[in-house]
Each structure stands twice: as structure tokens, then as C-alpha cells.
Amino acid sequence: MPLPKAELHLHIEGTLEPELAFALAERNGVPLPYADTEELRKAYLFDDLQSFLDLYYGLMAVLRTEADFEDLADAYLARAAAQGVRHAEIFFDPQAHTARGIPFATVVEGLGRALDRSEERHGVSTRLIMCFLRDQSAESAMATLEAAKPHLDRIIGVGLDSAEVGHPPSKFAAVYEAAGVLGLRKVAHAGEEGPAAYVREALDVLGVERIDHGLRCVEDPELVERLVRDRVPLTLCPLSNVRLRAVDILEQHPLPRMMAAGLLCTINSDDPAYFGGYVDDTFHAVHEALGIGPEGLRELARNSFEAAFLDGGPEEEALRARYLAEVAAYEFD
Ligand SMILES: [Zn+2]
């Protein structure tokens, strides 16, 4: 049995495996420029950001109906459960779909249907976080927040993702302020390829509660001190960092240094269909490559539940306490 954990940095669109992509393409009559799943699987071995993004956005064409989004989320939840995930806070990118003419409601209701059944079917509690594409305009983000308003019973927070450099957090100050007024939680990708200054901006200007990635905070000792002092969680994605060349090889990942500095680190799978592994695979990889032993892995699992948005009253706190007890009781073989 894998170590129980929460996954807090997972893009549902990044869980589209070649087999499901082909099945949905057939169901919807969408032609794919690949002969079969094997050829598509080879395309997943991209070696730079642009070929990843081309493939990622290209394949989204197969997602058209509520049932497609439901099947996508259900397939992820089944895999996550097998990897020890007990709680998942799942990102989705509404603009990647509305730009293709898919209504916001189709996306969120389809995902929501799978999430509604998740505890019963997979034993995984879930939350949904909608991300704004930071390479799109601030106006487009605001329009997306507006479109989300009828669906806020399904969405607990907002995030910020996609190409980071040149799109600082401050660009989205107004939409984050509006999201706060609506009672939404706030996270943002920062300090992945962008500088440590973007991490500061995400905290100071957007008021985020967690930083997604945040890898480059290590370049700024004062910032590290602040993140440690304020217990700001970082949702790191080591396998993604290697595939997208934020670090050259996993053996050079700063995770052990970051943990030793007292940062509240979590590890996650980001876009697991594309980056070579789901979250328990990531736990195994950091154990092998970085020598993080059982107690380090237990700390990462404990952090994942501490950093989860499970603070909405006594029922959620009880759920968190139950998960933390499972982590404490876990026996490594
Ligand atoms: Zn991400």
C-alpha cells in the first residue's frame, strides 16, 4: 500500500493518457495526427517546452462534452487512488476550453460529476481550483471569473498557470482581488521558470496562500526566511522540473536543501501523463535520486495534508486529522 498523501498541484488536462485521447477522439469524430496510441506515446517524449505545449493544447481538441470531462477526471482519480492519494485539489484551465467554443458549464459540470462520486468510488476527497492562463490578458481572466459565478458551489479557488516569464503576478491583481471578494482561495504558479521576485509578488500583490512550484525562491535567502516563518506551502513538481528543464537532472533538484531549510514542501505530479509519472512515482523518484528516506517522505506526505484547503469547519478539520493519523501510522516496508 502506498503512503497516504494529498495531491495539490495537478492539472486535469495534463492527465490525458494516449489511450483515453484516442477513445475520446473516436467518440467525438475528432481526427488526431497520430496513427495509433504507440505513435502518440512517442510524441509524449517531447524535449522542450514548446513541443510540450503544442501537444498539450493540440490534444485538448478531443475534450468536447460533459461526459469527456467526467471520464478524464474519473480516470485520474482511479490512478490517484492507486498511488495513495486520499485528497486531491485539482486544477483546470477554463480558457483552454472556452477558447475552443466549449462552454464553461460543460467543463465544470463534467468534472464535477466525477468529483461528486470520488469519495464513494475511489476514496479520494476532492476540491476544484480554476486557473487563469497567464499568457492571456487580464481582461480574459476577469471574463473567466465572471463565467464561473454560477458554478462557485463547485470551485474553491483560483490559480495562475501556463508560460510564466513576462507575465508577472501583478498583471492579475484586479482579478485576484475580485476572486477574494467572492470568497475564493488563492494560489499561483510562481518561481518555476520566472524569478524569485514573482514569488514575492504572488504573496504581496495577489495574496496567495500557497505557491505552486516556487523552486526559485532558493535564490533569495530573505524570501526563504519569510516562507519558512509564515509556513507558506510550496507545491513542488520534481519530475515536471526535469522534463521542462527547470533542473537538468533529478539528482540536482533542490528539494533536500529546501526541506532542510524548513520550507513547507509538498511534491506533486503537475501533468503526469506528460511528465513521466503520477504522484507516488514522484515519491519513489525523489527517494531514489535524492536519497530522501522514509521520514523525509513521511514529512512530505504530512505537509501535503497540512497545506490542503481542509480548514472549512470542524468536519474538514476532522478529515484532515484522520488523514494525518494515517500518515503517522504508515509503515514503510
Ligand atoms: Zn503546474
- Summarised one tens digit per residue, pLDDT across range 2-52 is 999 999 999 999 999 999 999 999 999 999 999 999 999 998 888 777 788
What are φ and ψ of residue 185, in 5° steps? -75, 160
Burial of 271 (0-12, 13-18, 19+ CB in 10 A): buried
**Tell me: the pLDDT tens digits for 248-286?**
999 999 999 999 999 999 999 999 999 999 999 999 999
Here the CATH number for the domain that contains residue 325 is 3.20.20.140
Closest of 232, 291, 241, 239 to residue 261, by C-alpha? 232
* 284 in a labelled binding site: no
Q: Is 90 exceeded by the pLDDT of residue 169? A: yes
Percent over 90 (pLDDT), the chain: 92
Average pLDDT, the chain: 96
Q: 36 among the known binding-site residues?
A: no
Domain count of the fold of the chain: 1
Q: Torsion angle, CA of 8/157/135/64, rounded to 10 degrees?
A: 90
Q: For the beta carbon of residue 36, count every other beta carbon within 10 angstroms.
A: 10
Residue positions counted in the chain: 333
Average pLDDT over residues 69-91: 98
Is 48 among the annotated ligand-binding positions? no
Taking the centre of ligand 1 as the mean of its atom positions, its distance from the CA of residue 22, in whole angstroms, is 24
Residues spanned by the domain of 288: 5-329
Q: What is the pLDDT of residues 218-252, one digit of tens each?
A: 999 999 999 999 999 999 999 999 998 899 999 99
Q: Which residue has the cell 476514496?
A: 123
CA distances from 24 to 20, 37, 71 (A): 6, 12, 9
Residue 333 Cα to ligand 1 midpoint, Å, equals: 31
Q: State the pairing for strand pair 185-190/210-213.
A: parallel
| Stretch 73-77: mean pLDDT | 98
Q: How far is CA 75 from CA 16, 59, 159, 302, in A?
A: 9, 16, 23, 25
Q: Which residues contact 11 (CB under 8 A, 6 or more apart)?
A: 91, 92, 93, 131, 161, 270, 271
Interval between CA 90 and ligand 1 midpoint (Å): 10
- List of long-range contacts for 177-184, beta carbons under 8 Å, 24+ apart: 178/142, 178/145, 179/145, 180/207, 182/145, 182/149, 182/152, 183/152, 184/152, 184/155, 184/156, 184/157, 184/158
Instruction: Give the per-residue pLDDT at 92.
Output: 98
pLDDT digits (tens, 9 = 90+) for 101-151: 999 999 999 999 999 999 999 999 999 999 999 999 999 999 999 999 999
Residue 120 among the catalytic residues: no
pLDDT of residue 51: 83
Amino acid at 259: M
pLDDT value at residue 53: 83
The CB-side HSE value for 178 (13 A sphere, CA atoms) comes to: 15
What one-character DSSP code corresponds to residue 97?
H
Q: pLDDT tier at 164 (50, 70, 90 boundaries)?
A: confident
Q: Which of 13, 192, 295, 317 is catalytic?
A: 192
DSSP-assigned letters across all residues of 252-304? G-SHHHHHHTT-EEEE--BSHHHHT--HHHHHHHHHHHH---HHHHHHHHHHH
pTM of the model: 0.97
**pLDDT at residue 144 in the model:** 98
How far is ligand 1, taken at its centre, from the CA of residue 314, in Å? 30
What's the sign of the alpha-carbon dihedral 176, 313, 75, 78?
A: positive
Position 107: which residue type?
A: V
**11 in a labelled binding site:** yes
124 C-alpha vs ligand 1 centroid, how far in Å?
A: 20
Interior angle at CA 149, CA 192 and CA 162, nearest 5? 15
* Secondary structure (3-state) at 22: helix
Residue 57 has pLDDT above 80, yes or no: yes
Q: Return d(Cα 300, Cα 297) in angstroms, integer.
A: 5
pLDDT band at 65 (very low <50, low <70, confident <90, very high): very high
> In angstroms, how far apart are the furthest CA atoms of the chain?
54
Residue 113, number of CB atoms within 10 A of its CB = 16
Residue 9 marked as a ligand binder: yes
The whole-number pLDDT of residue 47 equals 73
